[in-house]
Amino acid sequence: KNDCKVSLIVYDIKGAEIKKLVHEQKTADYYSVVWGGINDRGQSVSSGKYLLKMIAPGYTKTITMTLLK
């Protein structure tokens, strides 16, 4: 299996970066990541819609998430 740089980044609906969940070399496999509604400064964010951008070589996808507290 090949290692590659993978990023999972949470943005608010306006496009501001909220939390970098993953930004590292990973081996191709299945992974799961849990975001607890905390930003990069360790502060709790409000309920609402957020974007999750997944980036790997040859692959980029953005999905919409709803955070409920």
Q: What is the DSSP letter of 38?
A: B
Close Cβ partners of 61 (under 8 Å, ≥ 6 residues apart): 53, 54
- Judge whether 22 and 52 are in contact, CB under 8 Å: no
Based on the number of CB atoms within 10 Å of its own CB, is 58 exposed (0-12), middle (13-18) or buried (19 or more)?
Answer: exposed
12-69 pLDDT per residue, tens:
999 999 999 999 999 988 999 999 999 999 999 999 999 999 999 999 999 999 999 8
Whole-number Å distance between alpha carbons of 38 and 10: 10
User: Higher model confidence: residue 2 or residue 7?
Assistant: 7
